[in-house]
């Protein structure tokens, strides 16, 4: 937990920004959004700079909050498994696209769903401060064409895409179903 505290402080402080407001998607069907999302690329926080096989899993709680499990192997595919369990709190229930992600009470970090394709297969999670961003997919790999399209969207949001880093994903037997948040 002590290693996580600096991340929280950094996320909160960097949330103070002079950028124009970042538009979220118009609406997120929470039931469809729940489940596993593979992190394809990101501008990482310091805890995930060497992440391999990073997966973010969401499960809707009875109270409307979102149980989140973020797991990855640190340093290599066989590196130690790191797992974090923040809770998402939906700030805008009209769109369900603006959340506060809480790692440590009472602090909530900015979490914005700014892109989501119609099939709920690819998404971009961003922050108003334009410091961290995550391109995620339901599959551990996406086509180069899809990646370039999503990278262009990240750039149009005002991010420095030179900082965008692909997250290594390699799963046994090319299987795409891996432990969800309940099992990680």
pLDDT exceeds 80 at position 176: no
Say what the pTM is. Answer: 0.84
Q: How does pLDDT run across 3-25, given as a tens digit for each residue?
A: 554 444 444 444 445 567 899 99
Per-residue DSSP letter, 24 = -
Task: Tell me the average pLDDT across 149-172.
Answer: 96
Can you give the pLDDT at residue 103? 79
| Tally of CB atoms within 10 A around 77 | 12
- Residue 130 neighbours by CB distance under 10 Å: 17
Average pLDDT for 83-106: 92
> Domains in the chain, start-ordered, CATH in brackets?
5-16+24-171 (2.40.128.20)
* Secondary structure of 74-126 in HEC code, one letter for each residue: ECCCCCCEEEECCEEEECCCCCCCEEEEEEECCEEEEEEEEEECCCCCEEEEE
Which pair of structure tokens corresponds to residue 5? Answer: 């505290």
Give 109-151 pLDDT, tens digit per residue. Answer: 889 999 999 999 999 999 999 999 999 999 999 999 999 999 9
Question: Residues 27-51: pLDDT tens digits?
Answer: 999 999 999 999 999 999 999 999 9
175 band by pLDDT with thresholds 50, 70 and 90: low
> Is 60 buried (19+), middle (13-18) or exposed (0-12) by CB count in 10 A?
middle
């Amino acid at each position: 937990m002590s290693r996580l505290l600096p991340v929280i402080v950094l996320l909160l402080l960097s949330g103070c920004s002079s950028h124009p407001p970042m538009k979220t998607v118009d609406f997120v069907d929470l039931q469809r959004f729940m489940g596993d999302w593979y992190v394809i690329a990101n501008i990482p926080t310091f805890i995930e700079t060497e992440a391999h096989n990073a997966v973010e899993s969401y499960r809707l709680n009875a109270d409307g909050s979102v149980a989140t499990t973020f797991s990855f192997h640190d340093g290599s595919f066989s590196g130690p498994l790191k797992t974090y369990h923040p809770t998402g709190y939906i700030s805008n229930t009209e769109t369900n696209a603006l959340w506060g992600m809480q790692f440590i009470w009472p602090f909530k970090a900015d979490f914005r769903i700014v892109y989501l394709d119609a099939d709920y297969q690819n998404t971009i999670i961003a922050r108003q401060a334009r410091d961290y961003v995550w391109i995620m997919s339901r599959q551990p790999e996406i086509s180069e064409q899809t990646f370039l399209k999503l990278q262009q969207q990240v750039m149009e949001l005002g991010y420095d895409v030179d900082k965008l880093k692909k997250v290594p994903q390699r799963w046994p037997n090319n299987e795409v179903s891996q432990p969800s948040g309940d099992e990680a």
